[in-house]
């Protein structure tokens, strides 16, 4: 009887251990690829939401940028000036803010409504769970996790910091795992 109990406790402890790094990275790459396609689609759709003038300005900028990139005679300073103008245009449309909100919302939907599974995690039978088995993750924890992960996808330096925590943390937990006391495990 005691041996069976020990076996059950060992299996429970193993079940709570984080999953393979490879699966977790590939699941994130799948999610990030999907979000990149959504980002590209919205990049061309958002100017339409701002009206005909904004759409015309966007088309003019993209045409000028395409011509500058195709031309071998374009000066570096002219190309840099055009890139600055394009960056100012995307800021005017609030593109970065909108995309950050889309990223956060994507991860939040998976955490709240699909048992801690994004599309990438579901593909590999992974899910987010609290470290403490005694109580489920609170909605606040899941919102915070989604916020940190979504912002990490939008801002390069935070994304690098998140990756470095994953690589150098002994248990391979990201910032969003550490801040919300969660981990990713197999959902089998």
Crossing angle for the helix pair 21-49 and 95-113, nearest 10 degrees?
130
Whole-angstrom distance, CA of residue 84 vs CA of residue 9: 59
> Is the distance from CB of 112 to CB of 142 less than 8 angstroms?
yes
Q: What rounded mean pLDDT belongs to the chain?
A: 87
Give pTM, 2 decimals. 0.82
Q: Model confidence over 106-152: pLDDT tens digits? A: 999 999 999 899 999 999 999 999 988 778 888 999 999 999 999 99
First to last CA, the chain: 26
> Is the distance from CB of 7 to CB of 108 less than 8 angstroms?
no
φ, ψ at 168 (rounded to 5°)? -100, -10
The H-assigned helical ranges of 50-92 are 52-70, 76-92
Q: Model confidence over 23-60: pLDDT tens digits? A: 999 999 999 999 999 999 999 999 998 899 999 999 99
User: Is residue 95 packed enough to be buried (19+ CB in 10 Å), middle (13-18) or exposed (0-12)?
Assistant: middle
**Every domain of the chain and the residues it spans:** 2-47+95-186, 51-92
Per-residue pLDDT at 10:
43
């Amino acid at each position: 009887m005691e041996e069976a109990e020990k076996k059950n406790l060992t299996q429970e402890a193993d079940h709570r251990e984080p999953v393979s790094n490879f699966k977790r990275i590939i699941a994130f790459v799948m999610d990030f690829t999907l979000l990149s396609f959504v980002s590209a689609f919205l990049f061309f759709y958002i100017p339409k939401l701002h009206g005909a003038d904004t759409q015309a300005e966007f088309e003019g900028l993209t045409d000028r940028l395409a011509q500058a990139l195709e031309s071998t005679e374009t000066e570096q300073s002219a190309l840099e000036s055009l890139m600055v103008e394009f960056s100012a245009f995307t800021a005017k449309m609030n593109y970065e803010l909108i995309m950050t909100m889309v990223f956060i919302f994507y991860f939040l939907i998976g955490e709240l409504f699909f048992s801690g599974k994004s599309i990438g995690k579901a593909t590999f039978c992974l899910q987010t769970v609290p470290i403490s088995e005694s109580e489920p993750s609170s909605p606040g924890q899941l919102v915070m996790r989604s916020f940190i992960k979504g912002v990490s996808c939008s801002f390069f330096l935070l994304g690098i910091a998140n990756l470095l925590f994953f690589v150098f943390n002994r248990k391979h937990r990201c910032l969003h795992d550490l801040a919300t006391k969660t981990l990713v495990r197999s959902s089998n």
